[in-house]
Chain A
Amino acid sequence: MNDRAQTYLPGTHPDLPPPPSMVGVYGWLRANLFSSPVNVILTLLAAYIIYLAFPPLIQWVFINADWQGDTREACRREGACWVFVKVWLRQFMYGRYPSTEIWRINTAYAILALGMIPMFIPRVRGKAWIAAFLLFGYPVVAYYLFYGSAFGQVVVETPLWGGLFLTLVIASVGIVGSLPIGIVLALGRRSRLPIIQSVSIAFIEIWRGVPLITVLFMASVMFPLFMPEGLTIDRLARALVGVMLFSAAYMAEVVRGGLQAIPKGQYEAAQALGLNYGKMMALIILPQALKLVIPGIVNTFIGLFKDTTLVLIIGLMDFLGTIQSAGTNPQWLGFAIEGYVFSALVFWVFCFGMSRYSQHLERKLRTTH
């Protein structure tokens, strides 16, 4: 205080440190937790909620949990029994995929990871080529790895596919397959030709208006009726078609948002250069629009990734499906909670990570535009 009572000639006042009540731990606490009586009450309330929720959770998850062993008897049941997850882990990850062939799935994961890493490094050139491979080449490679039949691989039929692997397959095929359909629908919706526009709008709004589960029901009970005599398609393929059509509608709306964000001047400039509709879209408009909607696509992917859990209702053994069935195994009754917590954690890590990534992209887009 003495310091402050002192006076200086104009223009010579030094920067003084703020009063102690503003700085340090004390200042922070005062400003953020105890700035008013109401805030004090709120802080205490929040602290009480944390006190109620977190210590028991940590006790259950870590301190009292069982980690060792590989039978049910290893569970003392005072906390979580992670032995359950350990024992069933292979099922959770790969379903009933033959254990001798699991390397094929892991190889595909590895290729994907190798392809994705450069995408996150700003300095790498030729990202477009890598992206093109991931979108067009990789699915073919993955198909032959997963299903087999080429290069003398054993065929692994789709009913054996399961676990997190199946979840990833459905979500990825859904998103990759829906992108082109979505682009066509979005262009259709913005078309000035009334019939094309109304067909697109009808298609988009119908799929967006119904729950995914009815689409899956439709895929599983109606598609067989749609097929010509003698042709049957397997359960997974049916679900994939359903998921693809469903997410194409959402994708179309995302792409449409991007198209709308492109200024009219770009269209006019392209036309002034003499480009026809196809060239204008392919060379000028879509490249810009698609870049704008990458965050939206990632968000759609997150939604789809969570929604794939619904396929268990039509009898596919996805990640949640394997967990559900392990929990109802007579040997392991009563361990459902561990299974749910484990899968919740896996889903959370995936979805939270992706949503952070999409926020990062959004921020980057906003600053570069």
Chain B
Amino acid sequence: MKDFRIWGLKKSPWVFHVAAASCNNCDIEILAALTPRFDVERFGIVLVGSPRHADALLVTGVINRKTLPRVIQVYQQTPKPCLVIGVGTCSCSKHMFEDSYNVVGPYDKHIPVDVYIPGCPPKPEAIILGVVKALQKL
């Protein structure tokens, strides 16, 4: 039974896109990964409009005092088990905002992150690889 559940989760990860103060470039790359050219529906990946339907959260951008409560709220609204995937160098570290007073550090200080995808912005291929790596962790 447990294998069956994991099979279901692996074969149909629905992603929800959390744009937490990114420069929008990572978001555009995520959208590019969803175009017919890469055809992620082959692996069952679908972009959903509500965190309640999501299995994986794609978080972009550098986390700061304003967006932190929102990101935590979205994470709490997502039914578990769910994966969190940080997209872009911003989400991995503080990137170029190292010395900013407003930045509260990388994501895993606040919510559990499964995979980080570095790159500024990462290529669509890298994003797909990251999602696959996250699924392998299950």
Are A and B interaction partners? no
